[in-house]
Amino acid sequence: MLCGSKLLPPRMTDPAMSNSAKTEPKLLRRSKIERYWIIILVWGVALVGLFAYHLWTGQMPSAAAFSILGLPVYWYGILIVAGIGLGAFVISRLAWERWRGTFLTAVPPELVELSVTAVSLPTPLQTKLQKQGVSTMGDLLLLWGTDLRNLRVTGDELEAMRTAVLALPAVDQNWLTDAPWRKWNPEHVWNGVIICLILGLIGARLYHVLTPSPSMAAFGIESPADYFRNPQLLFNLRNGGLGIYGGLAGGALGLLIFTRRNRLPLLPWADMAAVGVALGQAFGRWGNFMNQELYGRPTTVPWAITIEPINRLPAFADFSTFHPAFLYESLWNFLTFGLLIWLWRRWEKLMDGEMTAVYLIMYAIGRTLLETVRLDSRVVSLGGAELPLAWATLVSILVALSMILAVGVRRWQGNGRSSP
């Protein structure tokens, strides 16, 4: 069920601002505060408490949260899934804002407020609509233009309704065939997340297979060829092996397929997705903390984390405290999320796709900095010679430069203005 939100995007105007909230369709009424801010606050406080407990005691909870039929369910998976869910929820709320803003910009306030009883509809049909909570033309047009199935009417009822609605002089016929607010339907998020996740997982796995980390040597994997000599290992995710850049590429492919199939604008949806992805990564990285993996170089700084001997890389078995690389990346992603939300709310001069570019540039910068402390990164090898450069760093540099170039060219050409 779609519900209210706090703010409209800055690119929209709200001609119904001066009207009483009672005249707005129920689905467009905004809550005083977005629920995701409450979730972020509570979840963040819990993680801060967990980290403080670890620093104080040096202890970690078990990597497994519980078992189902004897099979362990790990905190890592729980945090990843929860981060994805929260990110998707944020994306749906941003889509809701554009959905609301587009509707209120397109439909005159007097039509939004007009009661369905003032329209020449058969009495049984009026009663049916009112039982569904459709009491105004605003309710009717909003649901019709978003997805006709929301109205749950028969073919004959639909024709009677179409005739009566089109008889109103202020109604644009396009609202009944391809309404401008249809493309921002928040339900698209939940319908499209599955294909993005599936292709994202495949992409993340392929990236790892092509650039396996040195720690995979413990499982007999020292190069990509080892995976293809043992194909069964390609599907063994329990030993780790997912690369974020591959996941982003796969997810982007999924988004492309979904938007093409549903006639949605790719770049604006990618902009909204970038906000949710940054937040999902910020929380999901704590799964690495629970697994005691992807830590940084040995250190004695006050915020160093304690890694148990069984989880230490062989070359660092004599060290016990390390840089919390996961925390650095998590904080950087929180910063990126905050920047993207700020841009979404306040910057009116962005072109479609530029928020996606900002996300990719920010992540590339953060990942490049992170690689200076990470231990378990595959370095670039050319012709048998290893370069003092991690694959993730090289990819980050290429991503950042390509995004800067793309934004610069589009700005110079003046293409890609924001979608209404």
φ/ψ of residue 398, rounded to 5 = -65, -40
pLDDT tens for residues 208-220?
788 777 666 555 6
Residue 293 and residue 172 in one domain: no
The pLDDT tens digits for 310-336 are 888 888 989 999 999 999 999 999 999
Q: Is residue 140 part of a domain?
A: yes
Same-domain pairing of 309 and 420: yes
Which of 10-14, 25-29, 100-104, 124-128 is predicted with the least confidence, judged by mean pLDDT? 10-14
Domain-located, residue 77: no
Which residues constitute the domain of residue 291? 278-420
Q: What is the DSSP string of 74-107?
A: EHHHHHHHHHHHHHHHHHHHHHHHHHHHHHHHHS
Tell me whether residue 159 is in a domain: yes
Domain count for the chain, please give it. 2
What mean pLDDT is reported for the chain?
Answer: 86
Please check whether residue 418 lies inside any domain of the structure: yes
Provide the CATH number for the domain around residue 114: 1.10.150
Query: Does the pLDDT value for residue 349 go beyond 80?
Result: no
First to last CA, the chain: 24
Q: Does residue 230 form part of some domain?
A: no
pTM of the model: 0.87
Distances (CA, A) of 390 to 26, 322, 332, 362: 53, 20, 19, 18
Write b or e for each residue in 42-73: b if 16 or more Cβ atoms lie within 10 A of its Cβ, otherwise e. Answer: ebeeebeeebeebeeeeebeeeeeeeeeeeee
Asked, for residue 132, whether it belongs to a domain, the answer is yes
Q: Please report, for residues 17, 28, 274, 391, the alpha-carbon distance to residue 357 in angstroms, rounded to integers and kept in the order given.
A: 32, 30, 9, 20
Shared domain for 168 and 282, answered yes or no, is no
Last residue of a domain, one of 158, 178, 198: 178
Domain co-membership, 285 together with 409: yes
Phi, then psi, of 173 in degrees rounded to 5: -60, -30
Residue 12's pLDDT band (boundaries 50, 70, 90)? very low
Q: Is 97 part of any domain?
A: no
Which of the listed residues 178, 210, 237 is the one where a domain comes to its end? 178
Residues 403 and 294 in one domain: yes
Domain end point (choices 150, 178, 206): 178
Determine, yes or no, domain membership for 64: no
